[in-house]
Chains A and B, each alone.
Chain A
Amino acid sequence: MNAILILIALVTLGTAVAAMAGRDLLRSVLLLAGSWTGVAAFFLWAGAEFAAFAQVLVYVGAISMVVLFAVLLTRRAREEPARSPASRARACSGVLAGGAVAAVLLAAVARAPLAAAPGPAPAVTVSQLGGELMGPQAAALLVAGVLLTVALVGAVVLAAGDRPAKTEDAP
């Protein structure tokens, strides 16, 4: 059981590191789709099938496609300039900060008094989840729907061109 988890973790972390370190943006996005699939595999391994399907639909299906569109829309003909000292310093400090956070988190996990043996797997069916979402969590579901609507309208407003304003210019 643990071997499968370690395999999933290695694949997920490896693709994530490769995506974050790579120079080609398109390749990074495709590698991250692999990483998100690894997280979905973890959800399946842990018995949360519905969360795994939501992860595949939202991340691997929708978000990676939207990010690919953004990459293609903002792509420029000229290549990225060679690595400057400033960008190297930024990369070093970023990796240092990430390593420090990882060290703190891993030390906390190693010292935490976690239960030695896991309890029985909680079984949850899709109909149970639906009842939960329509019953006790209905208000949260409505808020999430409003949030998605507002965010998407805001995204359209932000991304839409302001061409008419250009002719009249500022008041």
Chain B
Amino acid sequence: MNPLSLCLTFSSLLFAVGLAGALARNNSILVLLGLELMLNAANLNFIAFWRFGPASAPATGVIFAIFSIAVTAAETAVGLALVIALYRHQRGIRLSEATRLKG
């Protein structure tokens, strides 16, 4: 099998696992971790196309992946701060209980 399509299959499955986890779980930390898995699948695609795709500038894919990792780190910090704020408001982190916008 073509290595590029193998890589794409891998990242598609990883994305689907992350999506299923983010939609299926009631725990806000696990939902955040599902988002992380989806972003990781996107990074995987950057590197896969850089390595096996049509020739481009030599550093393009790696630069893309590095910026994506930096943005993900910022997103995680804000997400976890939101989880802690949610916990402070309602003494729990279950999403089904977070039904009010105003604390």
Binding site for B on A (CB under 8 A): 1-2, 5-6, 8-9, 12-13, 16-17, 19-20, 25, 28-29, 32, 35-36, 39, 42-43, 46-48, 50-51, 54-55, 58-59, 62-63, 66-67, 69-71, 73-74, 76, 86-87, 90-95, 97-99, 101-102, 105-106, 109-110, 112, 114-116, 118-119, 121-124, 128-129, 132-133, 137, 140, 144, 147-148, 150-152, 154-159, 161
- In the complex, the answer to whether A158 meets B84 with C-beta atoms within 8 Å is yes
Binding site for A on B (CB under 8 A): 1-10, 12-27, 29-30, 32-34, 36-37, 40, 43-44, 47-48, 50-56, 58-59, 61-63, 65-67, 69-78, 80-85, 87-88, 91-93, 96
- Asked whether A98 and B5 contact (CB < 8 A) given A48-B62, A144-B71, A158-B81, the answer is no
- In the complex, the answer to whether B69 meets A55 with C-beta atoms within 8 Å is yes
Could you tell me the distance between the alpha carbons of A54 and B15 in the complex, rounded to whole angstroms? 20
- In the complex, the answer to whether A58 meets B69 with C-beta atoms within 8 Å is yes
- In the complex, the answer to whether B83 meets A16 with C-beta atoms within 8 Å is no
- In the complex, the answer to whether B66 meets A50 with C-beta atoms within 8 Å is yes
- Asked whether A99 and B71 contact (CB < 8 A) given A39-B44, A151-B78, the answer is no
- Asked whether A156 and B81 contact (CB < 8 A) given A5-B3, A16-B18, the answer is yes
The dominant DSSP class at the B interface is helix
Could you tell me the distance between the alpha carbons of A63 and B36 in the complex, rounded to whole angstroms? 10
Residues on B with C-beta less than 8 A from A47 are 51
- B81 CB, nearest partner CB in chain A, Å: 4
27 interchain pairs, CB-CB under 8 A: A20-B34, A32-B33, A36-B40, A39-B43, A42-B47, A43-B47, A46-B48, A47-B51, A55-B69, A59-B36, A71-B29, A94-B23, A95-B24, A105-B8, A105-B12, A106-B9, A115-B2, A118-B2, A118-B51, A118-B52, A124-B59, A129-B63, A148-B73, A151-B74, A152-B74, A159-B84, A159-B85
- B36 CB, nearest partner CB in chain A, Å: 7
- A139 CB, nearest partner CB in chain B, Å: 12
The list of the 3 closest CB pairs from A to B, nearest first, reads A98-B20, A94-B24, A20-B21
